[in-house]
Amino acid sequence: MSDGLSPQKTRGMTETIRISLDVMGGDNGATTVLEGADIALVRYPDIRYVLYGDKDTVLPMLENFPRVKQASTFHHTDVTIEMDERPSQALRRGRGKSSMWQAIEATKTEEADVCVSAGNTGALMAMSKFCLRTMANIERPAIAAMWPTMRGESIVLDVGATIGADAQQLIDFAMMGGAMARALLDIERPTVGLLNIGEEDVKGLDEVKEAGRLMREFELPKLDYQGFVEGDDLGRGTVDVVVTEGFAGNIALKTAEGTAKQLAEYLRSAMSRTLMAKIGYMFARSAFQRLKEKMDPRKVNGGVFLGLNGLVIKSHGGTDGEGFAAAIVLGHNMVKNGLTDKLEQDLSVYHKNRMPTDEENAS
């Protein structure tokens, strides 16, 4: 149902970007979602929202965000997916009825261009796969993350959608990450590397070595394969796209987040230890502020579900309004730059001409 707030208009008529929000998702409640929506709307007035949540919770809060209210359509939902629910349980309980499901489904029915949720990751992926289905020739979706580096930003995937991947799936990840780099980083021919335990061709898991062989021998459309990269290459920005499977990718992501927090705590402790340190901080305040902004994980918040017939973004569940705004802006920019079209075109060309894997040859 709709509460009669400002109706959405078609994107073709207004050139707006329509974003569906699971207002009930996340650790910090609806206020964080609405605060983030407000921040993003100030930066990009062409955004229009489709909000899904419990009316008794959301509508009173919405009065505190008049810009969001004016730019939104609201739909009441009876079910909220809990952060600790098992994906299978969430799918059974929330299919068709929850704020999460309906926000996803809005991209399928074309009421929205992209969905953003800070809810349960497993449930969001399960519902997204069930509702939207995977794109043609894609066996598994991936979660792609923007990664701050010494030379700008890179894209890393998969960072936790599924554990394990065969050679063909790793190549599909490379294709999807390349399309994302072209759309968001404005790089016509992104460089790609496979995350491994060494740069030598003989090292690593068989699936990674097989993927590397195929990527060397077959020129991938609009990609420049650079070979294997190691963990320290992530921060250096050695390549534009780093490809791995979800287990290693998620550990790398969480390690980087933890290291950033650790360094920030070290700096705070050091700068407050002595009077001279405090005086030194006063003189170097602007430099430390730039460092803080560079290390702020909120700036790159938002994991993109790639490989589905629709765009879904997972915001960190514990983020604040600024972080949730970053996830919304990421969705806005993906739609604005035609990510879906680039994905479909690149994957179509690749799968039409691709080389078979050793496993396929053996069968």
Do 82 and 70 touch, CB atoms closer than 8 A?
no
203 pLDDT higher than 80: yes
Domain boundaries, the chain: 1-132, 138-299+338-363
Q: Which DSSP category does 98 fall into?
A: B
- The first and second tokens of residue 132, run together, are 């939207």
Residue partners of 291: CB distance under 8 A and separation at least 6: 267
Rounded to whole angstroms, the Cα distance separating 323 from 27 reads 13
pLDDT exceeds cutoff 90 at 201: no
pLDDT value of residue 150: 82
Q: Give Rg (Cα) of the chain.
A: 21
- Please give the backbone phi and psi of residue 149, each rounded to the nearest 5 degrees, phi first: -135, 175
Worst-scoring range by mean pLDDT, 66-80, 138-152, 222-236, 251-265? 251-265
1 pLDDT tier (thresholds 50, 70, 90): very low
pLDDT in tens, 160-186: 888 899 999 999 999 999 999 998 888
Alpha carbon distance 20, 41 (integer Å): 13
Please give the average per-residue pLDDT across 186-211, as a whole number. Answer: 90
Quick one: pLDDT at residue 357?
Answer: 64
| pLDDT tens string 205-217 | 899 999 999 998 8
Residues 6+ apart with CB under 8 A from 290: none
1-132: which CATH topology? Isopropylmalate Dehydrogenase (3.40.718)
pLDDT band at 8 (very low <50, low <70, confident <90, very high): very low
CA proximity to 361, closest of 214, 200, 257:
214
User: In whole numbers, what is the pLDDT of the chain averaged over residues?
Assistant: 86
Residues 289-316 have a mean pLDDT of 81
Does 5 score more than 70 pLDDT?
A: no
Q: Which of 146-155, 208-217, 266-275, 297-306 has the lowest mean pLDDT?
A: 266-275
Q: Mean pLDDT lowest for which of 132-146, 196-210, 311-325, 344-358?
A: 344-358
Q: What is the mean pLDDT of residues 110-131?
A: 94
Tens-place pLDDT, residues 14-31: 489 999 999 999 888 899
pLDDT average, residue stretch 97-108: 96
Does the domain made of 138-299+338-363 have the CATH classification 1.10.340.30? no
Asked which of 67-81, 272-286, 312-326, 341-355 is least confident by mean pLDDT, the reply is: 272-286
> Using one digit for the tens of pLDDT, what is the confidence trace for 28-58?
889 999 999 999 999 999 999 999 999 999 9
Tell me: pLDDT of 293 over 70: no
Q: For residue 301, what pLDDT is reported?
A: 85
Query: pLDDT grade, residue 292 (50/70/90)?
Result: low
Assign 117 to helix, strand or coil.
strand
pTM: 0.85
Region 292-305: what's the mean pLDDT?
Answer: 75
For residue 219, what pLDDT is reported? 77
Average pLDDT over residues 186-209: 90
